[in-house]
Amino acid sequence: MSVLQDLADELTIRLAAPVGISDLTLAHLAAGPHPLNVDWMRRESLLSRAAPRKSQEYYAALGVRPSMTGPLHTPEDVENGVSARWVVPARWSGRTYGYIWIIDENGTSVPQSDIEDLTDYAERIAETIHRRTSRLRDRASSVRDLLLSNRRGHLDTAGWLYDVAGYPQGPVAVLVMSLTGDVDTANLPISILDGPLPRAVPGEVWRFVDQRRAVMLLPPETVTRRGATERVAEHAKQVTETELDAPGSVVIGIGDPVANLYEASTSFRQARLAVRALTAFDTLPRIQSWSDLGALRAVVSIPDELLDDAIPPGVAMLQEESPFLAETLDAYFATGCSVPDTCRLLSISRGTVYYRLQRAETISGLSLKDGADRMTLQVGLAVMRLRDSGQQTHVSSERVVSEVVGARGLHQIPRIDR
């Protein structure tokens, strides 16, 4: 990235105008010095390092496309608060790899003759983006082989990464980002593959994008730096939602750090299961680590084919009788078995809460005064919600999950406060 930054700085000085470099999705790659009063499009690009969908559509309508072969001047748009720009395609070997953006404040401050002299710069920028993209795609293929292969393939890839590719020794962790069912976009943008991460994050994060899921392998430098993993997750979520123009459309699961690449599949599975929890239980934070899931780790680790069997008959009858009963029990357990708090959460009267709780006891045959029965109800409701969400683990019942409950164990469920 330093090569692109050097070229952006050099062009800014040469043209005496703010210069930026983007990829084909208009995601920010490098920029020279800019004044504080740049328009909202450039400001958004500099801050989030991604281009919102409305920016992509705006410039596509003006003719900024990979098929362009020469410079294009886009006029000032006072109504939308957008400055005039020169857009130069960064082409190499007959193909466009990105764009050079020169802000033309009054529409005439940068002469066309100066723009036409940028052919050499455009080729150097295009070749740099090409080589960088090729390197990132090779890394994506390696991460895919590491995490999606069978056990033998996983171990062989880990050995190759250490012995041949020179991957750093030390603990690693895996982060999985997924689109929720609420967003219309079919797939995640491929720019996640080569989009930059916060400068404060050490190490290089290798990643691959697989339709509605992105997987990131966090290196030892990131894993061992306090707060760096969370910064990567927050940045990836913000950039993706900005590019999709869909706030709240992304959830991220973070697997626990493991000793080395040979154990990375464990962290990957934990991250996937954390995503499974996030998509089924919307009260959880949108970024969730496996270690913070508590007893839900036991629930989301249940194989798909066993979910129906894991729901006690009495709990299943509650949903059949009335969805309000399950909803009330969920709120009741979420508030620590507090009837007043349940009333406030559901905006219903105390009498209605008591009636529904008593009705739930009658139908299920379970007592809220009994600790074991309360646990049966709470866990059974969680399993039922997981099943009804349609989020599958793709984990076979033959696989052994050793870290399901962990040191936390199941949370103690308080007694009813009647």
Q: What's phi and psi for 16, nearest 5 deg?
A: 55, 40
Mean pLDDT of the chain: 85
Cα 169 from chain centre: 26
- Please state the three-class secondary structure of the chain as a single string: CHHHHHHHHHHHHHHCCCEEEEECCCCEEEECCCCCCCCHHHHHHHHHCCCCHHHHHHHHHCCCCCCCCCCEEECCECCCCECCEEEEEEEECCEEEEEEEEECCCCCCCCHHHHHCCHHHHHHHHHHHHHHHHHHHHHHHHHHHHHHCCHHHHHHHHHHHHHCCCCCCCCEEEEEEEECCCCCCCCCCHHHHCCCCCCCCCCCCEEEEECCEEEEEECHHHHCCCCHHHHHHHHHHHHHHHHHCCCCCEEEEECCCECCHHHHHHHHHHHHHHHHHHHHCCCCCCEEEHHHCCCHHHHHCCCHHHHHHHCCHHHHHHHHHCHHHHHHHHHHHHCCCCHHHHHHHHCCCHHHHHHHHHHHHHHHCCCCCCHHHHHHHHHHHHHHHHHHHCCCCCCCCCCCCCCCCCCCCCCCCCCCCC
Domain edges within the chain: 2-131, 149-291, 294-418
Query: Do the domains at 149-291 and 294-418 have one common CATH topology?
Result: no
- State residue 153's pLDDT score: 93
- Highest mean pLDDT of the ranges 16-25, 69-78, 137-146, 264-273: 264-273
Greater model confidence, 45 or 267: 267
Question: Pick from 15, 9, 29, 10: which is nearest to 71 by CA?
Answer: 15
Structure tokens belonging to residue 397:
């019942």
Res 404: pLDDT: 35
Model confidence band, residue 200 (pLDDT cutoffs 50, 70, 90): low
pLDDT, tens digit (0-9, with 9 covering 90-100), for 53-100:
788 889 999 999 999 999 999 998 888 888 899 999 999 989 999 999
Report percent pLDDT > 90 for the chain: 51
Confidence check: pLDDT of 414 > 60:
no
Backbone angles phi, psi at 79, to 5 degrees: -60, -40
pLDDT of residue 49: 65
| Distance from C-alpha of 269 to C-alpha of 256, rounded to nearest angstrom | 10
State the CATH class of domain 2-131.
Answer: alpha beta
What would the pLDDT profile of 114-140 be if each residue is shown by its tens digit? 888 898 999 999 999 888 878 888 888
The rounded distance, in Å, linking the Cα atoms of 95 and 170 is 39
30-40 b/e (C-beta count within 10 Å ≥ 16 → b): bbbebeeebbe
Q: By the 8 A CB rule, do 47 and 28 touch?
A: no
Of the candidates 238, 234, 186, 235, which has an alpha carbon nearest to the alpha carbon of residue 213?
Answer: 186
Decide if domain 149-291 falls under CATH 2.40.128. Answer: no
Q: What is the pLDDT of residue 185?
A: 59
Distances (CA, A) of 88 to 20, 100, 101, 211: 11, 5, 7, 30
| pLDDT reading at 9 higher than 60 | yes
d(CA 333, CA 169): 44
Which class is domain 294-418? mainly alpha
Query: pLDDT tens for residues 138-173?
Result: 888 999 999 999 999 999 999 999 998 899 999 999
> In the block, which residue shows the tokens 């886009």?
74
pLDDT > 90? residue 182? no
> Contact at 8 Å (CB) between 258 and 266?
yes
Q: Which pTM does this prediction carry?
A: 0.72
Q: Looking at 116-125, 148-157, 213-222, 312-321, which range is the least confident one?
A: 312-321
Residues near 24 by Cβ (< 8 Å), separated by ≥ 6? 66, 96, 97, 98, 99
Distances (CA, A) of 171 to 223, 224, 257, 262, 294: 7, 8, 6, 10, 23
Residue-wise burial string across 243-277, b where 16 or more C-beta atoms lie within 10 A, e elsewhere? bbebeebbbbbbbbbbeebbebbbbbbbbbbbbbb
